[in-house]
Structure 1
Amino acid sequence: MLTLFPYLSRIKPDFYNVKILVIEDEKDLLKAIKNSLEKEHYVVETAEEYYEALDKLFVYDYDCILLDIMLPNGSGLEIMEELKSAGKRENVIIVSAKDSLDDKLKGLDLGADDYLTKPFHLAELNARVKAVLRRKQLDGKNTIEIGNAVLDLDNRELRIGGDMVVLNRKEFDILNYFMLNKNRLVSKMALAEHVWGDHTDQADNFDFIYYQIKNLRKRLQEAQANFEIQAVYGIGYKLGEP
């Protein structure tokens, strides 16, 4: 089952007029994804089977495609092959229950930008979409720059003022999520869903988030970052100027 914890914000996202195609044959999941993305102010179109998806892909251009592998009348990997043959460079996130290494590697080899295995949380999906869109804006550099910090998403490295700052895996994931959502209010639930996934359901409270953010703040301060993670009492956090 898909666990839904919508991330609500009064601040509109950085992306306007972004067009996304969701290719998915599970009607309930398709509806949930569409509703979630529309809350982020994206323009969302859908396709439920292979030929409908191909028709839309070769008539319209999309900023991002969410693609299931198992489809009626064909497969998502066949769609990837068609796109590659036609020289259409789209931003594709494969979303599928098939988690075999072969499928993942084949999808990435055909040009997919990311791979998300079902079941997943909508907060995680939204973060992946934002990451793909930001990489497109950055001309494929796959880095996020805020203030004097550069976050390298491929090598999972943080540099502040040119110096390397060592982060553990959770600290990197937290900072990545905050940098993707700069100046936006991030609820504790959304952060937990993104970084800890299914393990969040087993937690009695959010103390584990507090301790990770406390350590991350200390590392940023010691490295003299010119931004900070600010607490918003009773709600969550946001990344902004000191």
Structure 2
Amino acid sequence: MNSPSISTGNILVVDDDADIRELIMEQLQREAYSVRTASSVQETREQLSIMPAHVVVLDLNLPDGDGLMLCRELRSEGFADAIIMVTARDSAIDRVLGLELGADDYLTKPFEPRELTARIRNLFRRMSVVDNNRPRNVRYAIFGPWRLDLLQRRLVTIDDRLVMLSSSEFRLLNRFIEAPKQVLSREMLLPERAATVAFDRSIDLQVSRLRQKLASEPEGDELIVTVRSEGYLFAADVAFE
């Protein structure tokens, strides 16, 4: 299986509506992205087996399965690149569930194609930072008393005790290890989200939960530092292997 370079912007668009697939593909190709399409769960898996995708634009209503379950399965199988869910389901419960199951972003139909393009561009910007700061083909991030499995999305102690992370906690921790010893604002931690009072509270709650899990090991409580009026800082050195 060949691994495409981030510079080529490899995107897989999954939707059972041919018109929507065509519309999204044309918009993204105008931005010079390399775009493939799929109309079902089976076609999605076939496409990913041929070549990985940096971003999967995933509709939830597919003829042979549910996009939410496909997202969860891909994450459990080690798919570590970005997933944007695109759906007509607009309830808060669906959005939260999608993010918890591993989506990086969630866009409700109908939407302006340029908004999708902007969100994809933002995800690629974040991935470029990771690509520049991380050695290639790494599996683990090591920091303090912890080892984070970047493929299986598992947090493990040095004596192999597994600590479960939600998808949102994994994304947050992954963002911290992308930029250790740098102050990150709430918007920088999850830049695809709008900055609102509710957003700030949500980030603070997620950081608090993640901090509690890291603090279950000696010295783990010192990893995430609050910087008043600015954001948070990940205080550990990070090594990759």
TM-score (normalizing by structure 1) = 0.51
AA matched with 1:191: L
In the other structure, the counterpart of 2:187 is: 189
RMSD over aligned Cα, in angstroms? 3.7
Aligned to 1:81: none
Is 1:155 matched up with 2:152?
yes
How far off is 1:228 after superposition? 0.7
Unmatched segments (≥5 aa) in structure 2: 13-24, 58-115
Alignment CA distance shift 1:205-1:176 (3 Å): closer
Residue equivalent to 1:239: 234
| Structure 2 letter corresponding to 1:124 | L
Distance 2:37 2:6 in 1: 24
Contact between 1:160 and 1:225, CA under 8 Å: does it hold in 2?
Answer: no
Does structure 1 residue 114 correspond to structure 2 residue 112? no
For residue 159 of structure 1, report the CA deviation from its aligned partner.
1.0
Q: CA deviation at 1:109?
A: 2.6
Flag the 1:112–1:130 CA change in 2: closer, same or farther, 3 A. Answer: farther
The alpha carbon displacement at 1:153 in A equals 1.9
Structure 2 residue aligned with 1:58? none
Verify the 8 A CA contact 1:160 1:224 in the aligned structure 2.
no
What are the Cα deviations for residues 192-213 of structure 1, in whole angstroms up to 9, with x where unaligned?
A: 32xxx45x36754501111111
Question: Does the Cα contact within 8 Å between 2:154 and 2:164 map onto a contact in 1?
Answer: yes
Cα distance in 2 between the residues matched to 1:173 and 1:215: 13
- Is 1:167 aligned with 2:173? no
Q: Identity of paired residues, percent?
A: 18
Correspondences of 1:48-197 after superposition (within 5 Å): 64-67=7-10, 70=25, 100=39, 101=41, 104-112=44-52, 114-117=54-57, 118-119=116-117, 120=119, 122-133=121-132, 137-138=135-136, 140-162=137-159, 163-193=161-191, 197=192
Aligned length in residues? 157
Q: Is the 8 A contact 2:6 2:128 kept in 1?
A: no
CA spacing shift, 1:64–1:214, aligned 2, 3 Å: same
Deviation of residue 65 (structure 1)?
2.8
Q: Is the 8 A contact 1:68 1:96 kept in 2?
A: yes
Task: Please list every run of 5 or more consecutive structure 1 residues that lacks an aligned counterpart in the other structure.
Answer: 1-61, 76-93
- Superposed, 1:200-219 pairs within 5 Å as 200=194, 204-219=198-213
Tell me the amino acid that sits aligned with residue 238 of structure 1.
Answer: L
Shift of 1:167: 1.9
Please state how far the C-alpha of 1:155 moved relative to its aligned partner. Answer: 1.1
